[in-house]
Amino acid sequence: MSSNIAIQVDALSKCYQIYDKPQDRLFQMLGRNRKQYREFWALRNISLDIRRGETVGIIGQNGSGKSTLLQMICGTVTPSGGTVQTHGRIAALLELGSGFNFEFTGRENVYLNGALLGLRAEEIDARFDEIADFAGIGDFMEQPVKTYSSGMTVRLAFAVSVCVEPEILVVDEALAVGDASFQFKCLNRLAALTEQGTTLLFVSHDLNMVRRFCNRVVYLRLGEVRAVGAPDEIAELYMLDLRDDQRRWATGDEMPVKKKTFVGGAEGFAFGTEEGRVLSACFTDSQDLYSSFVYGETIEIRVECLLNSNIQNPNISFTIQEMRLLIIGGGNFTLHPEPAENGWQKASITVRFRARLGAGRYHVTIKLLNGYTEETSHLIEKQVALLSFDALPGNKDFLGIFDFGLEQV
C-alpha cells in the first residue's frame, strides 16, 4: 500500500445468511444437503482508496451498506470477500456506546478505550483532563455508563475518539444524538483534526455537513458504489435518485434520471431525462453565465429550453443558492411553449429579482419540470449552479444573507 494511502479497500463484499425459521439454522449446521438460507449481499465488490488527511463522506439510503463498510474498515465485521488495509491509529464512533462496558464508570471506560486504541496508561493520564472537559458530563464521569443518557454516552465516546489524536477517525452518524451546543463543539474539533492531517471517514444523512467537511463523497446504493466524486455533485445525484424513487413508487414511471451535459461547460453537472433540455441561459445585462450586481440592482435572467411535445405541464424552477449551495429562495413558473415542430417545442422565459443580498458569491440552479410544483412534478432536467453572480456591497446595513427590510416602528 502506498505511503500516501490511509485506507485501501479492494473488492470488498459482505454476504449475510438469512434464515426463515430458527430450525433452518440448525439444519444448516448439521450439514443437510439442501441450502437452508437465502443470501443477502450487504456490500458487493467495493473498491476505494482514501488518502492521508482526506475527509470522505459516505451517503446512501438506509440499508445501502454504509455502516457495514465502516465496520469492516474498523475490523469489527469480517468480510465475505476482498481485503481492507489501513495505515495508522483508528478511532471509531460506530454504534452508540460500542466499545464501552456499561458496568464500568466513565473514567474506567476512558482508560479501557484508550488501551484498545494502543495508548499506555501514562498517555491516557496526560489526556484525561482534556477528555473529561470535552465530554462535559461532570460528576457522571465517576458513575457507571449504564446510568447515562444516550447524549451523555455519545459525548464521552466522541471525547475519547477525538482527544487521543487518531490518524484515522471513523464516525457513523454519532453526532445526530448530541444537542446543538455539543454538535457545534464536535464540528470545530473535527475541523481542527482535519487541519492537522487526520483522515476522516464518516456516514451522515446531513448533506449540508457532507458539503461542508468532505473532499470527496462515496454514494452507496443497494450495496454497491453508485458514484464517487465532489460533494456538491454527489449530493445532487443522491437527492435526484431519492426523488426518482418516489416518482416511480407513486406513478410507476420507469424513465430513469441520468447525468446530462452541463450547459455552462465541463466544470458543472446536470441530471435529467431525454424529455427536454436547457438550450441557453444568461444574465441579460452581461449576456453571460456570470455577472455582478450592487445592492438593490435588478437581476434579470433569460432561459431558453426545448421540450418534448408530450410534456403536459411544462414548468421551470429557479433556485438562488449561496456558496455551499444552501438554498436562499427561488420560485416556479409555468412555461408557454411555441407550436411544436417534429415532436419538439421551444420555450423561453425571463425572470427578475432585486439584489437585496449580503456581499458574496451566489448561484442559480435551473430545473425543467413536468408539473406545477416541485413536490408533485417529474424532473426533466436540472442544471446545478448554472449561473453565478457576485453581490457587491451597497450603502444598506443589515445582518445575514438576505435583507428582509426590517424597520423600527
132 CB-near residues (< 8 Å, 6+ apart): 110, 141, 159
Q: What are the CA-CA distances from residue 125 to residues 6, 133, 166 (Å)?
A: 28, 14, 17
Rg of the chain (C-alpha set): 26
Q: Exposed, middle or buried by CB within 10 Å (0-12, 13-18, 19+), for 95?
A: middle
- Per-position pLDDT tens, the chain of length 409: 567 899 999 999 999 887 777 777 777 677 666 677 778 899 999 999 999 989 999 999 888 999 899 989 988 889 999 999 998 888 887 765 667 888 999 999 999 888 887 788 898 999 999 999 988 889 999 999 999 988 888 888 888 888 877 889 888 876 665 567 777 788 888 888 888 889 999 888 888 788 878 889 999 999 999 989 888 888 888 887 877 776 666 555 656 677 888 998 767 788 888 999 999 999 999 999 999 999 999 999 999 999 999 999 999 999 999 887 788 999 999 999 999 999 999 999 999 999 999 999 999 999 999 987 766 788 899 998 999 999 998 878 888 899 988 888 8
Q: What is the pTM of this model?
A: 0.70
**Residue 160 to residue 183: CA distance in whole angstroms:** 15
Whether 202 and 58 have beta carbons less than 8 Å apart is answered as: yes
| CB 294, CB 355: distance < 8 Å | yes
Cα 19 vs. chain centroid, distance in angstroms?
A: 34
Domains, the chain, in order of start with CATH, read 5-228 (3.40.50.300), 251-392 (2.70.50.60)
Planar angle of CA 141, 143, 144, nearest 5 degrees: 115
